[in-house]
Structure 1
Amino acid sequence: MKELLTVDAGDPADVLRALRDGLSGGPAILPFPPGAPAPDPPRQVEKKIALVIETSGSTGHAKRVALSSAALLAGAAAADSALAGPGQWVLALPAHYVAGTNVLVRSIAASTEPVILPPGHFDPAAFVAAAESLTHAVRYTSLVPAQLTSLLDLASTDEASATVLRRFDAVLVGGQATPATLLERATRSGIHVVRTYGSSETCGGCVYDGVPVGVTRAAVVDGQLELSGPTLAEYYLADPARTEAAFVVRDGVRWYRTGDAGTVSADGVVAVTGRLDDVIVSGGLKVSLGLVERAVRELPGFESAVVVRARSERWGEVPVVVAVAPLLSLAEVREAVAAVAGRAAAPDALVAVDALPLLASGKPDRQALTRLVAPR
């Protein structure tokens, strides 16, 4: 056994130093959000554990995911093989979030020094300035879609910023579904975006543009997407029941049950169609909120919109769209969604907000949004 330290992620450089020690056999670490109370996890973990990630709990089920040094470094090696090799990174995500710690792990594995943005509100101009300071020939960053949108907005009016962004060998984008319109916009700007899929339980992204990286394997069992490979977490800290439910062994291979619905094509390409737990029954018909959200996000001005459930006396439950300054009417949104997903999937309401509530990870706070639309 070895010590488990909690590390305030307010200064990502502290997380970097502690993580470097943890990967080389020192104490494991559990980074926590700046300004939050320090967590009180078990004081010791197995020697192989280097990092514990506490999930954001966007669905109300926070977990502490225990990751080994071997899994973290396997993830870094797989990423390098799928991209342009080891490089230098800009850290623009919270250092207590798995995508943020991944940037630090890959920097450590590459023996490069990451350029770290200060925590807090994302400033696209500050990001560009940080990117200009990169010195390595191979350059990467990892973002969520809202950050990429802000950078593309800046690049559309500032050619110098656009030039800096084009120098990245890859801009990894994950954390939530990335609208096709946003990807097309990045492509037109000459920015190489790689869509990533994964979770804390897989050391972050392990599927790039639908293709499993390294020796990661994907399968669909009873409609649920499962992943296997060397990047899987060891367990949920002090939660054997949840561990047993999420990780299964078949024919000697250990798999993580993602909770996502999806498909794997004959040539191994993964497509995620939504969360298994985001299905509502509206008027007696099953409706996937994830499918509705993807359809909505293809509409102009709705790239960051979120779809949540709301109670309805008439229909049982209905989809509701929450968006910042929506450019289309509810009738137009309903028509577009119905054309893709059927009439039962057409949103019942369109709620305009000044800003979407976000978790520290940059993901939408779906619990807060569900509460927002509840009084109907």
Structure 2
Amino acid sequence: MSLYDRFEQAFMPNYGVPPVALARGEGTRVWDVDGKTYLDFIGGIAVTSIGHAHPALVEAVAKQVATIAHTSNLFLHEPEVLLAERLLGLLDAPGRVFFANSGTEANEAALKLSLKYAKRTGRSYLVAAENGFHGRTLGALSLTGKASIRDQFGPFPTDVRFVPYGDADALKAAVTGECAAVFLEPTQGEAGVVPPPDGYLRAAREICDATGALLVADEIQSAIGRTGHWFAHQADGFTPDILTLAKGLGGGLPIGACIGFGDAGTLFDKGDHGSTFGGNPVSCAAALAVLDHVDLDRVRSAAARLRGGLEAIGHPLLKGVRGRGLWLAAVLSEPVSGKVQQAAADAGFLVNALQPDAVRLAPPLVVTDEEIDAFVAAFPRILTEAAG
């Protein structure tokens, strides 16, 4: 019986059966169970920041496991303190940190902070964006503006009102003195790597300042250098009240973070929230190694090369390229992203059919010029195969 058959028999059907079974990785390359090599241009969904089996990550994790792997939240340990201090230093703003295990858990913490703020100030609802994605637990799902994954699990206990992403006028109309918080992605990831119009996020900051609502920036996918900045909001010239992180922070180890700035950092009282595994020593050690080895100049250079190469392709199936940094979507003129994903795998590249007409590219931040050029050179043939 094949590994695929065994997977299908052992697991719930929510993922289907993934088309490729990976056995190992090194740098930007991975190998499947049959020995075929792929260039990884999805990076575990923007997770594998410094590549597979990076020596510094391996050393940090191995050393920490051999020292102490778990303490629970009943005790503190130095790696969590070092990581919190490092993140606050990169943010260059006074704040407080809560560590979780994933993006959806980081957003759950942000939601609880928002609800506590609502109760304290007598506010009654939240605002989020249509087609936004904040996670699949029920709290985070209540903020997620995708009917296809949300509606079957409602009704939700929290009043969340959705507005079109990028429409500052609609946001202003929705956010009144009764609104407790606004949840936005600096670029919408699962919607198709959709950046906001210029000035939209600064307008959101001004709207929240005028009404007293908290502004929550969900940077689960966009942070840790992915867009060419440590945090995507830094390029837009604003600071949120609450920031959520995960994915690329641990380089493959599970970790999430919810950071509150100013008064939002002290909304929780003792006992208000917690996590048994959140901020465990191993994941914190991994995150510190990641932060030591992300080169923002290299990310910007690689991003410009990848985007420029893709934009120079004159293929009828490639309608355009959008996104920021090494987090792009190849936008298609036909809804055949699944065929593009398969053709890319056949050609030895891993990409992600994100939307019917959008293919997500999020290679490790250490991707080389030669690897970018190899992908760009192969992409027209991949598109032709998918179109045919």
Please classify the TM superposition score into its range, dividing by the shorter chain length: 0.3 to 0.5
Higher relative contact order (CA 8 A, sep 6+): 2
- Higher helix proportion: 2
When normalised by structure 2's length, the TM-score is: 0.36
